[in-house]
């Protein structure tokens, strides 16, 4: 774990993950480390976790970030944690992946009803008796509506089946998160400049044109970087 290459894994604080996915910091920490129970014990972790704590602080890799994003999406639609854990177990066995909710096993958009994936979800729905997942599996229209905004818009996969990069906001598609670039932090795809750098420069200069000139970037892209950061800040 300590020898992991952050330049290829991505590096995000709990706060970063919360801002990017809309999941609270408390939940992200609980998913990474488990929750305290009334009897003093701790529940199982809900994420595999690519990284060990750094200086006592929890950190996430890019695949962890994608799993938080995915899990949140399904929890909001009523799918139970127990069901997601079961689906993850089957996915690890059938697709031989360590981070199933960051992998192509659900769909990359082109093969959304691919036979093996559908069989996994049917098996999970049958065994868990979770009505929310059952309805998603048996009603293809509902399944498509749930998966499309998550897995077709913004996320691409590499040849190994894992998420390769993510463009979180469709109307700001020039901003990308790529674990192989700038430690996975949001950057302008065309220039590889972190959006936070441009935002901080704008706060200092209070002039988009001045920032564009300093970094030799089109003002339209500077505007998108600033808008992205403002959107993250809520």
* Structure confidence by residue, pLDDT tens digits, 10-32: 999 999 999 999 999 999 999 99
Higher-confidence residue of 141 and 215: namely 215
H or E stretch at 65: helix 62-75
Given this model, what pLDDT does residue 1 score?
A: 41
The average pLDDT across 207-211 equals 97
Task: Compute the distance between CA of residue 49 and CA of residue 68 in angstroms, rounded to an integer.
Answer: 11
Task: Name all domains of the chain by residue range, CATH numbers in brackets.
Answer: 1-70 (1.10.1660), 77-152 (no CATH), 165-234 (no CATH)
- pLDDT (tens digit per residue) in 31-86: 998 888 888 888 888 888 899 888 888 999 999 999 999 888 878 877 778 777 87
Given this model, what pLDDT does residue 144 score?
A: 47
Strand partners, 129: none
Given this model, what pLDDT does residue 173 score?
A: 93
Q: Are 24 and 18 in contact (CB under 8 A)?
A: yes
3-state helix, strand and coil shares in percent for the chain, rounded to the nearest 5: 55, 10, 35
**Residue 201 reports pLDDT greater than 80:** yes
What b/e readout covers 140-177, taking b as 16+ CB neighbours within 10 angstroms?
Answer: eeebeebbeebbeebbbbeeebbbbbbbbbeebebbbb
DSSP secondary structure code for residue 87 in this structure? H
CA 176, distance to chain mean position in Å, is 12
């Amino acid at each position: 774990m300590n020898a992991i290459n952050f330049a290829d894994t991505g590096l995000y604080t709990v706060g970063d993950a919360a801002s990017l996915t809309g999941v609270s910091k408390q939940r992200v920490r609980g998913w990474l480390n488990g929750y305290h129970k009334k009897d003093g014990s701790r529940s199982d972790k809900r994420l595999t976790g690519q990284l060990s704590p750094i200086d006592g602080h929890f950190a996430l890799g890019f695949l962890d970030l994608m799993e938080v994003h995915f899990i949140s999406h399904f929890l909001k639609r009523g799918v139970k944690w127990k069901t997601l854990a079961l689906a993850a177990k089957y996915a690890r066995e059938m697709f031989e992946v360590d981070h199933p909710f960051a992998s192509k096993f659900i769909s990359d958009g082109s093969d959304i009803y691919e036979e093996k994936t559908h069989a996994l979800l049917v098996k999970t729905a049958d065994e868990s008796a979770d009505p929310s997942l059952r309805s998603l599996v048996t009603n293809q229209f509902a399944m498509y509506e749930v998966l499309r905004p998550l897995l077709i818009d913004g996320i691409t996969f590499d040849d190994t089946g894992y998420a390769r990069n993510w463009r979180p906001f469709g109307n700001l598609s020039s901003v990308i998160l790529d674990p192989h670039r700038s430690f996975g932090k949001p950057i302008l795809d065309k220039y590889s400049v972190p959006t936070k750098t441009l935002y901080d420069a704008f706060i200092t200069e209070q002039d988009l044109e001045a920032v564009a000139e300093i970094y030799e970037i089109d003002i339209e892209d500077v505007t998108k970087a600033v808008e992205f950061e403002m959107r993250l800040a809520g």
